Amino acid sequence: MQLLDVTDLNTSFFIDNNVMHAVDGVSFSVPKGEIFGLVGESGCGKTMTALSVMRLVQPPGRIVKGQVVFEGKDLLGLSEREMEKVRGDRIGMVFQEPMSALNPVFRVGEQISEAIIIHKNVGKKEAKDRAVELLKQVGFDEPEKRYSQYPHQLSGGQRQRILIGIAISCGPSLVIADEPTTALDVATESQIINLLENLVNDSAMSMIFITHNLNIMRKLGKRIGIMYAGRMLEQNLVDVFFREPLHPYSKGLLSSIYGLAGNQKRLTAIPGSVPKLAELPRGCKFHPRCPYVMPVCREEEPVIKEVGKGQWVRCYLY
C-alpha cells in the first residue's frame, strides 16, 4: 500500500517575464516502510520536489499543478493550518546543514522537546522524558548530558543525529532526508546512513532519501528515481538499476562512477553539463549529451512510461 502518491507535480518559478519549470510532471510513490531514493545532480529539482511535497515552496516559486496524496489526503488541497499539523507531526524533515537548521541559543534537548510539545500537546516533563529517550534512540550514550548541550558543543555528525531526533520526535510516518550526509566525513556518513536505515527497519516509517551520491543508494533503499532538469527520467528497483540501468543518463552516471562493464577501471564522464533551467533544450532535455540521440529526440520530449513492473523510463529507445 502506498503512503505517498505524487502525481504530475509541477512547480515553476515566475521571474520577470520568464517561467522556469523547476519540477515538471514528476510522479512517484512511496510505499509504507520503504526508502525511496531521489537522485540527481545539483539543481535537477530533487530538493524542490521535496519542498513541494511539504508545501514549502517560496515565491517567486509556486506549485502549479499536481496531486500529493499522503495518508489518503491531497496535501495540495489542505489549508495552511492543516498543513502545519502534517509538517513535523506526520512528515519529518532532515536537512543538509545541521548547524543552520538548529537554533544556536537553545539546548539541543529543548529543541527536541519543543517539537513534541507543539505537535503532541504534552507537558514539559513528558516531552523531556521523550526527548531523552529519542537521544538514546539516535545513538547518544549519555542522553541526559546531551540534552543540556548547545549545538556548538556537538560535532557535525552529532548535530545531524539531533536533527534526526527532531524529525522522528512525533512518530511521523514519512521522513524526508535531503542530502543529510553531505557535510559529513565518510565515517560519520556511514554511521548516519546506518542509523536512518535502522530507524526505518525498526518502525513502520517510510523515507524519501535525497542524494547526488549513487553509492549511498546502492546500500540504502529499495526503489530509486533519477531526476534531470526537473524531470523524472527513470524509476527502478535499486538492485535492477545497478545491474541494468535503463536511461542513457543513468548509464552515463553509473559508468562515471564504476567504469564501463567489463572494464571497471575506465571511468567515462558524461560529456557536457546539466542545462540551466532558463535554457533548456527542445525535445528530450538530455539530448545534447546523449550518445544515442535520434532526430525525434531533438524535436519532441518523450513521456515517461512503464516498461516493466515498477520500471519507468522517459526515452525514445523504449
Residue 260 φ then ψ, to 5°: -75, 150
Verify binding: residue 290, ligand SF4, rule CB under 6 A.
Answer: yes
Verify binding: residue 248, ligand SF4, rule CB under 6 A.
Answer: yes
Cα torsion 54, 78, 206, 126: sign: positive
Candidates 63, 115, 284, 304: give the one binding ligand SF4 (CB under 6 A): 284
Contact yes or no for 223/298 (Cβ under 8 A):
no
Listed ranges 91-99, 143-151, 253-261, 310-318: which one lies at the site for ligand SF4 (CB under 6 A): 310-318
User: Of the candidates 79, 91, 96, 88, which has an alpha carbon nearest to the alpha carbon of residue 6?
Assistant: 91
Verify binding: residue 297, ligand SF4, rule CB under 6 A.
Answer: yes
Q: What is the CA radius of gyration of the chain?
A: 20
Candidates 294, 300, 308, 310: give the one binding ligand SF4 (CB under 6 A): 294
Which ranges in the chain belong to alpha helices (H)? 46-53, 80-86, 98-101, 108-120, 124-137, 143-147, 156-168, 186-202, 214-219, 238-243, 248-258, 295-299
Q: Looking at beta carbons only, is 95 or 286 nearer to ligand SF4?
A: 286
Verify binding: residue 302, ligand SF4, rule CB under 6 A.
Answer: yes
Question: From the CB of 233, what's the least distance to ligand SF4, in Å?
Answer: 8
Contact yes or no for 302/25 (Cβ under 8 A):
no
Q: Looking at beta carbons only, is 140 or 286 nearer to ligand SF4?
A: 286
- Which residues fall within 8 angstroms of residue 315, CB to CB, at 6 or more apart? 233, 246, 247, 248, 284, 302
Q: Looking at beta carbons only, is 150 or 316 nearer to ligand SF4?
A: 316
What x-and-dash track marks residues 205-244 binding ligand SF4 by CB under 6 A? ----------------------------------------
Verify binding: residue 246, ligand SF4, rule CB under 6 A.
Answer: no
What phi-psi label fits residue 17: left (phi over 0), alpha (psi between -120 and 50 degrees) or beta? Answer: alpha
What x-and-dash track marks residues 76-115 binding ligand SF4 by CB under 6 A? ----------------------------------------
Strand partners, 91: 87, 174
Verify binding: residue 14, ligand SF4, rule CB under 6 A.
Answer: no
Q: Give me the residues that bind ligand SF4 (CB under 6 A), please.
A: 248, 284, 286-287, 290, 292-294, 297, 302, 315-317
